[in-house]
Amino acid sequence: MSFDINQLVRENISKLQPYSSARDEYSGDAAIFLDANENPFNSPWNRYPDPRQKELKKEIASLKKISIDQLFLGNGSDEPIDLLYRAFCEPGIDNVISITPTYGMYKVAAEINNVEVKEVLLNESYDINARELLEATDRHTKMIFLCSPNNPTGNNLNKEEMIKVIERFSGLVVLDEAYIDFSPGKSLLPTISKYPNLVILQTFSKAWGMAGIRLGVAIAATPIINILNKIKYPYNINILTQQKAMEMISSTSKVKEWVSIILDQRTLMEHELTNLPFVIKVFPSDANFLLVKTNHARYIYEKLVEKKIIVRDRSKVRLCEGALRITVGSPIENQKLLIALQNITV
């Protein structure tokens, strides 16, 4: 593999002179700040947030056992996904490879940026084959998107195959680990310093219970992180988000407890759902949701809606024909779902 970040980045981005904010130009402590046209009243909300999120990054870097300059924070994972396209893919010329089925945002972000997505179908066990992915690339392929545990299939992708892709592809491999906290020990994060072309996405939206504050994380070699920082909105992580994330990170015991409850409930629900007469199969899950195959997906979906229980109908997705994607909820929510399902006759 020959990987050269300077050859990969778009020329206009490489030449770009980024916006320099007041807080970029002076980031120390002071008694009086009269440099950013802020309102002197309504403290602390009157001040712009730290554009580099120094304090928060220090905590997250130590949590993830990486260095601060390997870390980018975004407005959800959506932001680094979009920025990666904008940094590396020339609209109308470059393309990316994505597995399918997978998370829909990779394709939407590609389409917004006028970048072609070449889809490579997962195999019968919802897994990848490195050779197939690599054979789908051409000289305009800038990124390969992988998602493990994958959404909506729920399973981890084969680690050896992922590593083959990373080692043999000369563009970026973006590995989305949004659900990794439900799948202990399987993260590729410990290998991040070894691979200059690997970008790992994680998020505070799932195991951390903070989808509402919009905080996503990209971890990669410093040259990639520097490019993302260069093109992001200057104040992309607001004060409320930075404060709430600091608060949650300072006491991780609650998060561990939630994950443990969700994992117990996942085992229970997998068993209970399998016993329903109209369920053909419950796929094994390494995430906080279950993919459930039936012959009556739309009917069951609508019956549940009548009872104000909403699941995700994935029955029109390739390889997920007839499947519903069901998030593992609280014990009470799961019981209500089971009772509702047991009362459905198809």
Nearer to ligand PLP, 272 or 313 (CB): 313
Tell whether omega for the bond before 101 is within 30 degrees of 0, i.e. cis: yes
Q: How far is the CB of 266 from ligand PLP (least distance, A)?
A: 16
Q: How far is the CB of 262 from ligand PLP (least distance, A)?
A: 14
Nearer to ligand PLP, 5 or 178 (CB): 178
Nearer to ligand PLP, 5 or 81 (CB): 81
CA distances from 198 to 175, 182, 224 (A): 7, 21, 9
Q: How far is the CB of 251 from ligand PLP (least distance, A)?
A: 21
In the structure encoding, which two tokens stand for residue 192, read together? 């991040």
Nearer to ligand PLP, 95 or 203 (CB): 203
Q: Which residues bind to ligand PLP, rule: CB under 6 A?
A: 76-78, 103, 147, 151, 176, 178, 203, 205-206, 211, 216
Nearer to ligand PLP, 109 or 300 (CB): 109
Could you write out the three-class secondary structure of 236-263? CCCHHHHHHHHHHHHCCHHHHHHHHHHH
Name the residue whose CB lies closest to ligand PLP: 76
Q: How far is the CB of 137 from ligand PLP (least distance, A)?
A: 22
The tokens 């904008």 sit on which residue?
86
**Residue 331 dihedral angles phi and psi, to the nearest 5°:** -55, -40
Q: How far is the CB of 30 from ligand PLP (least distance, A)?
A: 34
Q: What is the rounded CA–CA span in Å between residue 224 and residue 222?
A: 5
**Residue 112 dihedral angles phi and psi, to the nearest 5°:** -60, -35
